[in-house]
Structure 1
């Protein structure tokens, strides 16, 4: 089996569940649930950072990247998580260049939470609809007037570019990618293994009314 090469960018002050949620989905996916303990995931997941030094996440968890931007293999899928660190990283030209280069070749470029601000500053969301954490929806609209900010959807899926709402929404986004790549049955089996409810609806999970 030729595994899909999947990268998840990490950086200081990245939100833990933003990257760990999708990592879990992709790592537990199996094409044959009956061979869960014999087979491996069809996704080869790489944690990618600008430098090889440990990344300190929101909350203080330290994570060692698997490779740097320069060392990353050719990717099929790239995920950009969010967190407070995106306030700085959305202006990091090295990260923006890496994401732009990846966008030209990957099958799917996805963001979780305020990772969408990185995609927006890279110029990759112009003319599209997109979403982000509920606290940043209005900010996103002011920053990127050429983007239609979707305040109702949990995940906004354009196929090549996918954005998702805050934090836990990355799990649902990752399940959508699994379904796109290998079918809904495989995605449902991954969710069941995680004891996570498969998303039957794409409505945003919280009420945005005052």
Structure 2
């Protein structure tokens, strides 16, 4: 992949976002290399940008993170990633953010969510008629409130073409690995997982028992 062909990936941020929901995919995508032998000389094929309405976001737990872009000055995106967290309950009623997600999802070649980021995609209508998943504790809520969504209860990552969603929190790492594999191939992804000392995912079953 030539440098000019780098994918621009926008990660939507908001107060009370879950840290690992965005940090996991960020680490995976920024850590990818097409050739492990030149890791320290080459950039990732993914240019990841943090985007929010505010300049600084306070994550769940108190961590403060400085954004790369506002909603207004965000560049065109190849991929849109929406993490979850407690803040999604509030932001699902944020018309400006939900509208921005709806429009950017239409423009992007791929839209993804981690955990309860699916709440924001659902509010934007992005999940209507599509297969999707979310944190195990929100599966019932998603099915009840958005009956047009085909909720998958037993998969860790749900790949529905240009829409990819994952289970909760740590599942965002495997979602991002699946996106790297889609774009760069299995060899690159295996090398990346080894570099991260993270088990290469061989099984897509949800890792926890679902209550109810």
State how far apart, in whole Å, the 2-side matches of 1:189 and 1:74 are. Answer: 29
State how far apart, in whole Å, the 1-side matches of 2:28 and 2:7 are. Answer: 14
Unaligned runs of 5+ in 2: none
Q: Does 1:24 align with 2:20?
A: no
Aligned length: 209
TM-score w.r.t. length of structure 1: 0.97
TM-score w.r.t. length of structure 2: 0.96
- CA change 1:202–1:35 in 2 (3 A) is same
Unaligned runs of 5+ in 1: none
State how far apart, in whole Å, the 2-side matches of 1:149 and 1:158 are. Answer: 12
State how far apart, in whole Å, the 2-side matches of 1:51 and 1:83 are. Answer: 17
Per the alignment, residue 44 of structure 2 pairs with 41
State how far apart, in whole Å, the 1-side matches of 2:91 and 2:148 are. Answer: 21
State how far apart, in whole Å, the 2-side matches of 1:208 and 1:88 are. Answer: 25
Q: Quote how far apart the aligned CAs of 1:153 are.
A: 0.2
Per the alignment, residue 209 of structure 2 pairs with 207
Q: Trace 1:103-118 onto structure 2 (pairs within 5 A).
A: 103-118=105-120
Question: What RMSD over aligned residues (CA atoms) do the two structures have, in Å?
Answer: 0.9
Runs of 4+, deviation exceeding 2 Å: none
Q: Trace 1:119-130 onto structure 2 (pairs within 5 A).
A: 119-130=121-132
